[in-house]
């Protein structure tokens, strides 16, 4: 797996990453959503450098000009519900992309720290021979992404696979490296220290879905 750590170099990305963590800022749900969207836009730009392009000729008012455009068809697929704001950021840049949405949540059958990932909804575009971008803000254990990936592979075989996360824990990265094929690209906004006993990222930011859309039952 090729891993891209985007916060290693200073950029405006780190400014927005700081705001989504800050307890004095991130409880403003509208600002949190917008910052996640901005992070999605920045990550989309960086990811675009790894895509395939073709040369085309366009007509201007005064002549013609050769330029390049993305060669592959793109499918954006986000994990509900936390992925929605980040998805919009990617869609702002890949505006011709097809889209997919899939639910994945932690089910605690014994009301303790053990959980399994449940998938109950999916609406997925055709991914065969296309560039699949799988989007989820938080990479904690990695189980959700692997379950969703396996579900998507039942629907077809993409040409290339990119996974974009805002914040990741080392344990989640290791889990993806173990369970996903080596030709995947993993894009990480920021790498954090660890998971706690409840499998939440530390220092993290809290629950991205709750901060964006309100506390769930």
pLDDT string in tens for the chain (217-residue length): 999 999 999 999 999 999 999 999 999 999 999 999 999 999 999 999 999 999 999 999 999 999 999 999 999 999 988 899 999 999 999 999 999 999 887 766 676 677 777 888 788 899 999 999 999 999 999 999 999 999 999 989 999 999 999 999 999 999 999 999 999 999 999 999 999 998 899 999 998 989 999 987 7
- CA distance linking residue 135 with residue 133, whole number of Å: 6
| The pLDDT value given to residue 107 | 64
Provide the 8-state DSSP code for 146: H
Cα separation, 134 vs 129, in Å, equals: 15
Task: Give the pLDDT score at 103.
Answer: 86
CA 75, CA 147: separation in Å to the nearest integer? Answer: 18
pLDDT of residue 111: 67
The answer to whether the pTM exceeds 0.75 is: yes
CB 93 within 8 A of CB 84: no
- pLDDT for residue 108: 63
Q: What is the pLDDT of residue 112?
A: 64
Task: State in Å, rounded, how far the first CA of the chain is from the last one.
Answer: 36
In 3D space, the residue among 115, 111, 161, 120 whose CA is nearest the CA of residue 140 turns out to be 115
Question: What pLDDT does 12 receive?
Answer: 97
* pLDDT on residue 81: 83
Residue 26 DSSP class: T
pLDDT at res. 198: 87
What confidence score (pLDDT) does residue 140 get? Answer: 94
Give per-residue pLDDT as tens, 79-88. 988 899 999 9
Query: Two tokens at 52?
Result: 């395939």
């Amino acid at each position: 797996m090729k891993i891209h750590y985007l916060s290693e170099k200073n950029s405006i990305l780190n400014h927005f990453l700081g705001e989504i963590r800050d307890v004095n800022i991130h409880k403003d749900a509208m600002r949190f959503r917008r910052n996640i969207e901005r992070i999605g836009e920045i990550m989309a730009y960086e990811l675009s450098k790894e895509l395939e392009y073709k040369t085309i000729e366009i007509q201007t008012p005064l002549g013609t000009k050769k330029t390049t455009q993305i060669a592959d068809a793109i499918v954006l697929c986000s994990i509900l519900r936390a992925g929605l704001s980040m998805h919009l950021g990617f869609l702002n840049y890949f505006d011709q992309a097809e889209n997919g949405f899939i639910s994945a949540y932690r089910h605690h059958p014994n009301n303790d720290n053990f959980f399994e990932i449940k998938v109950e909804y999916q609406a997925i575009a055709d991914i065969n021979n296309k560039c699949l971008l799988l989007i989820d803000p938080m990479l904690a254990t990695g189980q959700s992404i692997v379950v969703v990936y396996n579900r998507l592979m039942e629907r077809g075989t993409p040409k290339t696979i990119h996974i974009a996360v805002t914040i990741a824990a080392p344990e989640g990265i290791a889990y993806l490296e173990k369970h996903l094929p080596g030709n995947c690209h993993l894009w990480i906004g920021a790498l954090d220290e660890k998971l706690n006993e409840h499998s939440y990222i530390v220092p993290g930011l809290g629950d991205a879905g709750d901060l964006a859309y309100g506390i769930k039952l």
